[in-house]
Structure 1
Amino acid sequence: MKDSVAKYKIFNSKLTTIVSISMVLFLIGIVVLGLKIGDTLSAYVRENYTISIEIKDDAEEKDITTLDEILRGQSYAKKVAFISKEQAIKDLAQEMGEDPVAFLGYNPLSASFVVNLKSEYTDNDKIEEVVKTIKEYRIVENVFYQKQFINEVNHNIHKVSVLFLIVAGVLFFISFVLINNTLRLLIYSDRFLINTMKLVGATRSFIRRPYLKKGVMIGIIAALLAIGYLALFGYVMRDQLKLFVDYSDHSIYYVVAGSIIVSGIVISWLSTYFAVNKFLSREEKELYYI
């Protein structure tokens, strides 16, 4: 009867530890997901930034086609759209509510290309290099882009990223402390056993080994539970998250799940290591007052 009660208490203690750690790892998963969403939003904002390439009025059709093919093949181009003179004046007439040609007698607009840049090219130094290269084509009249706008976008993205990283760092630290305290409480009941093994001559590494294995196993199980919580969270919140998360992009699953598993193993191993070392370094009489 006593053995059954003892086994139940041990099982209940381990279960409580695993559930507690899994909740902390779930929080880590939310943070990693938030960082991934932030990165996606940053790329989305940057890649909606465009440069406009004005084409000379005397440019021949074949030269325009050639430039179109060249632009589409460039590493900096996310998307390229050609707007003819006719389409440009038509769009302007729709915006104004009247046709400028009717009172000017001619089409004052030029054909142009609108290029969406890839996010890694949306800083002013790289944009200036791109613009300089584009201006070398003889049919290009001018290239327009909003320098001040991209400065403000990059500045705001940098501020938000730094703030989010600080919050993430604080949460990771809190997570480590919580997991460390939880595992230390689990090992606390074995403090006299650890001392006994030390007294009979067992080496520190020998004493630590079974606890480290147990700690890692607890970390893995807790991580798998946390991944389950996160999967359920993603399913319940799918309508809200689909605005920010591409569910068809499997890399996000690997990043988040991998972060949770690695965090569970590493933090549990470190916490167990420090907890066992704490009791190894104490004399027997000190163990009564810890």
Structure 2
Amino acid sequence: MPAPRPNQLYVIISLALVLFLLGLVGLWTFQANYLTKQLQESLDIIVELNDDHTEIQRMELIADITAARFNKPGSQPEYVSKQAALEEMGDDLQRDLNDLGLNNPLLDVVTFNVPVAYLQSDSLAAIATEIQTQPGVAAVFYQENFVDRIAENARRMGYILLGLAGLFALVAALLIHNTVRLSLYANRFTIKTQELVGASWGFISKPYLWRAVGQGIVSGLIAIGGVAGLQYWLQSVLPELNLFAEPLPLVCLYGGILLLGLLINFVSHYVVVRRYLRLRLDDLY
């Protein structure tokens, strides 16, 4: 049984720091996706009403949109009268219109939002066509280019974050492998001696691999604690980020950190122990 080594704490802390960085990348990825989704779903679909539309037509339109499959769940279409819209534009515009003797050029509108699944050019066009058939509707508008830009930027950000995660994972594997190799260097003779007296490779590797599992779990828990602590701090400073709005991705992130720490440390210990077992006795010096 190998004797305890003084640098085991270094292995745990090194792995925990790398896992913490990977956790930050994962947190950034989930948060970017969440904010992108919120931004996309905040896109207003604007339905302009005819000047001569009736209140019954307007109420039926709002009821139809509320019950429609393309309405964002939990949201209610909003009616904005042309007078309220003019007041929002400021007193200067109203004064200018009065000076010129012009009537309010705006129209009554109904605005609503759609889920992300419908934020495609063809889907929005189909929604606009369907709504325009309603009585009292003059036109339907939405920022098509804005939707396309959001989707494209979201894809690009996803590729960048995926590349960063892959790079961090590679660096983590190399760093932890070298750390484990140095950690087991003092026990190279013990490992080889056990083999020479007839111990099987599995018997020799077992205590090191169990230690690797324990170190990986401890490192993962430390990294999870660091990421969660940072989340709570950011949430207290910037509550509008809603960092805990979607718990399932966070559970997956924490579980991934723990699993990755265990896997990296286990594989590194396995490779290093087998390497020392394959070496000749003269090569250990």
1:223-249 CA-to-partner distances (Å, cap 9, x unmatched) read: 112222334434444444434243465
Q: Which stretch shows the higher mean deviation, 158-167 or 210-219?
A: 158-167
- Could you tell me which amino acid in structure 1 is paired with residue 65 of structure 2? L
Question: What SS class does the counterpart of residue 53 from structure 1 fall into?
Answer: strand
Alignment of 1:179-194 (within 5 A): 179-194=176-191
Structure 1: 5+ residue runs without aligned partners? 1-5
What is the Cα deviation at residue 278 of structure 1? Answer: 1.9
Is residue 5–residue 183 contact of structure 2 (8 Å, CA) maintained in 1? no
Q: Name 2:274's counterpart in structure 1.
A: 277
Question: What SS class does the counterpart of residue 114 from structure 1 fall into?
Answer: strand
Q: Name 2:116's counterpart in structure 1.
A: 119
Query: Cα 1:266–1:241, aligned 2, differ >3 Å: closer, same or farther?
Result: farther
Structure 2: 5+ residue runs without aligned partners? none
**Counterpart check, 1:91 vs 2:85:** no
1:237-276 CA-to-partner distances (Å, cap 9, x unmatched) read: 4444434243465446424322321221121122222222
Q: Name 2:7's counterpart in structure 1.
A: 13
1:190-215 CA-to-partner distances (Å, cap 9, x unmatched) read: 32333333344444334333222211
What is the Cα deviation at residue 131 of structure 1? Answer: 2.3
Query: Cα 1:253–1:160, aligned 2, differ >3 Å: closer, same or farther?
Result: closer
Q: Name 1:53's counterpart in structure 2.
A: 47
- Could you tell me which amino acid in structure 1 is paired with residue 121 of structure 2? N
Q: Name 1:29's counterpart in structure 2.
A: 23
Q: Name 2:125's counterpart in structure 1.
A: 128
Q: How many residues align?
A: 281
Is residue 86–residue 94 contact of structure 2 (8 Å, CA) maintained in 1? no
Q: Using structure 2 for the length normalisation, give the TM-score.
A: 0.83
- Determine the C-alpha separation between the residues in 2 that align with 1:257 and 1:52: 41
Is residue 234–residue 241 contact of structure 1 (8 Å, CA) maintained in 2? no
**Counterpart check, 1:150 vs 2:150:** no
Overall identity of the aligned pairs, in %: 28
Q: CA RMSD in A?
A: 2.9
- Could you tell me which amino acid in structure 1 is paired with residue 18 of structure 2? V
- Determine the C-alpha separation between the residues in 1 that align with 2:80 and 2:171: 54
- Could you tell me which amino acid in structure 2 is paired with residue 68 of structure 1? I
Q: Which stretch shows the higher mean deviation, 237-246 or 173-182?
A: 237-246
Query: Cα 1:97–1:106, aligned 2, differ >3 Å: closer, same or farther?
Result: closer
**Counterpart check, 1:165 vs 2:162:** yes
Query: Cα 1:222–1:75, aligned 2, differ >3 Å: closer, same or farther?
Result: farther
Q: Using structure 1 for the length normalisation, give the TM-score.
A: 0.82
- Could you tell me which amino acid in structure 1 is paired with residue 243 of structure 2? D
Alignment of 1:236-275 (within 5 A): 236-247=233-244, 249-251=246-248, 253-275=250-272
